[in-house]
Structure formats: structure tokens, C-alpha cells
Amino acid sequence: MRTLQTLAVLIVVSGIFGAFDAARAEGEHRRLLWGDTHVHTSYSFDAFLNGNQTADPDVAYRYAKGLPVIHPYNRTRVRIETPLDFLVVSDHAEFYGG
């Protein structure tokens, strides 16, 4: 009986350590990224109507890279300290072309 209990404990303990090793190995391939997934530029009618007539997608991506740009509303030079890892320009498609 004692041998069976010892064997059961060893199986449980080895399973726990195996799970920790798998989690650690998986975590080595993970990296936290910072970004913005919803940005409208002057190409989007709602941003344009709110006074953004100058910040096109190029300006948005330059800003995300940490380069200085001119703010579309108050016309001051702005720059983020730490560049973003990603940016999604999600302009509306209404009124494009034509």
C-alpha cells in the first residue's frame, strides 16, 4: 500500500513539474506588443468633419514610429516617446473615390 501511495505522489509531482516546463517553454515565445487598432485619419469622413484635414495615413504611421508630426487640431508639433509596435488605420470606406 505504501509503495502505491509513493508511486501516486511521484506521478502527480512529475505531472506538475512537466506542466511548469511546458508553460515556461511556451512563455519564451511570447512578447507583449503595444499598439492601436482603431485610428481614423483625414481620409475618414467623420475625422475630417471633426477638423482633421491634415493627418493622413502617412502622418499616422510616422507618429506611431515615434517621429514628430503636426497635430491636426491644434497645429503643434507632437511626438510619442516610445514608438508603437503596430498601428491599424481603420478609416471608413464611405465617400471614397467617385
Position 12 scores a pLDDT of 65
Where residue 63 falls among pLDDT bands split at 50, 70, 90?
A: very high
Note whether 96 and 45 are within 8 A (CB): no
Each domain of the chain, given as residue ranges in start order, spans: 1-30, 35-89
pLDDT at 6 over 80: no
| Mean pLDDT across 72-86 | 96
Q: Which residues pair with 7 in a beta bridge?
A: none
Q: Which residue has the cell 517553454?
A: 25
| Mean pLDDT across 9-17 | 66
CA neighbor of 86 nearest in space, from 33, 32, 30: 33
Residue 62 CB neighbours (<10 A): 14
Position 27 scores a pLDDT of 62
Q: Three-state SS for 83?
A: coil
**Model confidence pLDDT, tens digit, residues 26-55:** 667 789 999 999 999 999 998 988 999 999
CA 68/CA 59 separation, integer angstroms: 9
